Amino acid sequence: MKIYLKLTILLFLVTVSLSCTNSQPKKTVTQSGEINLVTPLEFKNKLENNTLIDIRTPLEFKQGHIEGAVNINMYDKDFLEKVSIYKTSEPIFIYCRSGNRTSAASRKMAKIGFTEIYDLNGGITNWFKNKLKIVK
């Protein structure tokens, strides 16, 4: 009887651990385009000659940011107005500290017409963990 209980628990744990891997989609398709959740290395490789927006607060931005980033605070009332100066048909790259704010910002930007949004998975924290350059 003990062996059946141990096997049942083991099977349960294996099932739970396998179902938790890759739980976050890499791409979300919206009515107007795509939101791509990418790793720091993918983000860096695709970034060249594209618009990069840091949606953190100005204080967070001053503490360190990815080179070439423009700071547009997501908490500003005119956030969407500020990002709308960029072409909605061109790729746009966004990041925050941990990836939480970019999830909401990406959806808002897709609603106003951005068709190709790249969201840095894990934010600048994950960028830094991957030993990628930050400027101050």
Positions marked active-site: 96
Check if the beta carbon of residue 125 is closer than 8 Å to that of residue 132: no
> 109 is written with which tokens?
């930007």
3-state secondary structure of 92: strand
Which phi and psi (to 5°) does residue 85 adopt? -75, -15
* Residue 75, CB-side half-sphere exposure with 13 Å CA sphere: 7
Q: Which of the 8 DSSP states describes residue 135?
A: B
